[in-house]
Amino acid sequence: MFEFRTYRPPDRAPDRHAANGLLLSALAALALHTQRLPVWLMLGVCSLIAWRYLLENYSWRHPPRLVRWCLLLAAVVAVFNTYGTLLGREAGISLLALLVGLKILEIRSLRDYFVSVFLLYFLTLGAFLFSQSLLTAGLAMAVAVVTTAALARLSLPNSLPISEGLRLTMAILWRAIPIMLVMYLLFPRIQGSLWGLPGDAFDARAGLSDTVTPGSINALSSSDAVAFRVDFADQMPHARQLYWRSLVLSRTDGNAWSRARDPVTVNADSWLSRGIGKPIDYTVDHEATGHRWLVAMDVPATVPPEAVARPGYILEAKRPVHQRFQYAMQSYPAQSAEPLTSAAHALHLRTPRPTSVRVQTLIDAWRREPDPVLAVLRYLREQDFGYTLTPPLLRGDFLDEFLFVSRRGYCEHYAAAFATLMRHLGLPSRLVVGYQGGDWNHAGGYLVVRQADAHAWVEVWREERGWTRVDPTAAVAPERVELGMNALKALLEQGALPGELAPAAIRALLEGSWLARQWLHLGMFWDAANTAWNRWVMAYGPERQQRFLRSLGFEAPSWAQVAATLIIGVAALLLVLAATLLWTRNKSDPVTAAYRRFCAKLGRSGLVRRADEGPLDFYHHILTARPELAADSKPIIALYVTLRYGNVARADLVDQLRGRVRRFRVAHQ
């Protein structure tokens, strides 16, 4: 068990090793920002640190004041030049990093060392302005440990071994945990932009857009970024059911598809009543997108409290999703038919007339078929249409080019072409944009859906069944739906043509090497750890805090009340810590207490007793440093020595000592 000891402050400048410890922690804090700070800045700060190293270890000269001012000016100008401002997240951290380097360079006194350490803590904290992931938290914690160890090394006598410093560090950090928990639970959490950060805090993120042109989803196919994760209450449904709808696009100009203009809020109760089959319960862990639309599995039946329902079974968040958040959902595998208003009927048939004669001929032929939907799907399957991630660029009439010339495309080519054809054939249809499939994470037991899983499909309105999902991509490349985007990409990379391989051959192709499989498993574990972090640590937002505070007995907690509770909580913890500290130190007898007061009085005037200085040595110390105090100090020291070391227990002498200490005055020089 650790006990607090009296460490005397260092009586001389920290030694080389203590200074090098500080430089090491500066490098560690800087390394946290490697990805965000420009290269010139990293090199600059590193060279400032290197300069200090040479100064510390090879007796280089301190830079003169003029050089330091010039460096400061250059740093400010360079940052302004790079960002166009000195404010904001990136410019601010850049400036801070440079100032840390400059401060370290100009260190002269012990105080400068401590200032540098606190700047380093600040720089470490800055990493959270960019990311609050598990990785960032872990790395920042490691840097904090290194910095605290450097601080401990600076505060302890030089002669003590490094292990002593590490022990002190661990003791401090261990005691900080309760304070950290109270801060975590009670620090007022404000909805919306974090800490009122300037605009550049929210990067433009890759994701779906509310207009689809052939080629727009394709841009996502290479993005490994996670769109959302899903936790199913029961078993995961079959891959064919994993259609995650986000947007419904009803308007088209023959090429681009976009949303209908009137965003009507629909009563979600009507959704529930139409569900058919066994309901599926799940929780979506949605990543930040900066947009409002959310995902739900086909066909959603509930609306989370943070969202409203829009026509076409679409969920829209009440605020743009700037932070990751979770919502519970229920979906049905199918829904009963709903009537289509005449206005909606007209909207979903509206499309420019085909300009090409051969397209018109094809449409006329299909019109005579008993089921045009099946006829078009058969056409796509039997003609040499192919699925590719690098479709050729289409010019002119999209439908004509695609159906007769290129015949290669991605999901949105097929969906857009199919929906347009349906409209020409007199069947109301619309484009649905969202995600399809996802990867099952064995380690965490949840489904991960990435941006690369983005997908577009078609819904056709049939008199007897209502809106019916038709996925033309499945007709061309069934692997896309059956195996998922990842497997399809792997197949395409190996040159296999979708739709033409037997399942056994596909399995053989997808069977990676042992190392690749382990790597995949490791990735899953890491993702699972991150998800747990997000679910248990990061998800503690304003709503959960309110819930927690209500459980503490607050009726309607305002942020001021929360702040007050926080301050009281932290103060109480510090008091407990201080009390235990004082108790262990001051349980000593009145003689020791009186002597401590005596030493403290002298200490305030700069005459500090070293922790290893005995009473006689201290007397000689007083005699040389402040001879005028020797006469008053002498009887006090004599009484103390007699009472403490002489096995003398006489109350009158104790009183005499206390009286003398009380009357003892140090005139400040």
Partner 1 sequence: MMDAGIKKVDLAGHGAAAALERVVAQVGQVILGKTDTIRLALSCLLARGHLLIEDIPGVGKTTLAHTLAKVLGLNFSRIQFTSDLLPADILGVSVYDTDSQSFRFHPGPIFASVVLADEINRATPKAQSALLEAMEENQVTAEGETHALPRPFFVIATQNPRHQIGTFPLPESQLDRFLMRLDVGFPSQEAERKLLRAIDRRMLLESLKPSMDAHRFTSLQRTVDRVVCSDALLDYVQALLNATREAGWLMHGLSPRAGLSLVRAAKAWALLSARELVLPEDVQAVAVAVFGHRLQAANSDGDEGNEMVERLLRSVPIP
List interacting residues with partner 1 (CB under 8 A).
Answer: 5-8, 157, 159-161, 163-164, 611-617, 619-620, 623, 633-635, 637-638, 641-642, 644-647
Alpha helices in 3-133 (DSSP H): 16-31, 39-57, 65-83, 89-105, 110-126
Contact 622, 630 (CB under 8 A): yes
The string of DSSP codes covering 567-600 is HHHHHHHHHHHHHHHHHHHH-S-HHHHHHHHHHH
Distance of CA 242 to the CA centre of its chain: 27
Q: Count other Cβ atoms within 10 Å, centred on residue 434.
A: 24
Cα(413)–Cα(393) distance, rounded to whole angstroms?
Answer: 11
Name which of 250 and 633 has its Cβ closer to partner 1. Answer: 633
Contact 412, 208 (CB under 8 A): no
Maximum separation of any 2 CA atoms in the chain, in Å: 122
CB of 578 to partner 1, least distance (A): 19
Name which of 338 and 589 has its Cβ closer to partner 1. Answer: 589
Name which of 15 and 164 has its Cβ closer to partner 1. Answer: 164
Q: Cα–Cα distances in Å, from 591 out to 634, 642, 643?
A: 16, 10, 7
Q: Which residues contact 570 (CB under 8 A, 6 or more apart)?
A: 179, 182, 183
CB of 642 to partner 1, least distance (A): 7
CB of 618 to partner 1, least distance (A): 9
Stretch (H or E) spanning 632: helix 630-645
User: Which single residue is written with the structure tokens 């979903």?
Assistant: 348
CB of 171 to partner 1, least distance (A): 14
Name which of 222 and 580 has its Cβ closer to partner 1. Answer: 580
Name which of 44 and 615 has its Cβ closer to partner 1. Answer: 615
Q: Which residue(s) pair with 300 in the sheet?
A: 331
Residue 439 burial class via C-beta count within 10 angstroms: exposed 0-12, middle 13-18, buried 19 and up = buried
CB of 646 to partner 1, least distance (A): 4
CB of 615 to partner 1, least distance (A): 7
Q: What is the DSSP letter of 11?
A: S
Cα(457)–Cα(453) distance, rounded to whole angstroms?
Answer: 13
CB of 603 to partner 1, least distance (A): 14
Name which of 10 and 386 has its Cβ closer to partner 1. Answer: 10
∠ CA 286-289-290, nearest 5°, is 130
Q: Which residues contact 182 (CB under 8 A, 6 or more apart)?
A: 566, 569, 570, 573
User: Which single residue is written with the structure tokens 């009563």?
Assistant: 267
Name which of 86 and 649 has its Cβ closer to partner 1. Answer: 649
Name which of 634 and 662 has its Cβ closer to partner 1. Answer: 634
Q: Count other Cβ atoms within 10 Å, centred on residue 196.
A: 8
Q: Which residue(s) pair with 282 in the sheet?
A: 232, 329
Name which of 7 and 548 has its Cβ closer to partner 1. Answer: 7
CB of 608 to partner 1, least distance (A): 13
Cα(105)–Cα(47) distance, rounded to whole angstroms?
Answer: 10
- For the four alpha carbons of 152, 156, 162 and 168, in that order, the dihedral sign comes to negative
Q: Which residue(s) pair with 433 in the sheet?
A: 247, 456
CB of 13 to partner 1, least distance (A): 17
CB of 160 to partner 1, least distance (A): 6
Name which of 2 and 559 has its Cβ closer to partner 1. Answer: 2
Bridging pattern class, strands 226-232 and 275-276: unpaired
CB of 202 to partner 1, least distance (A): 49
Name which of 282 and 619 has its Cβ closer to partner 1. Answer: 619
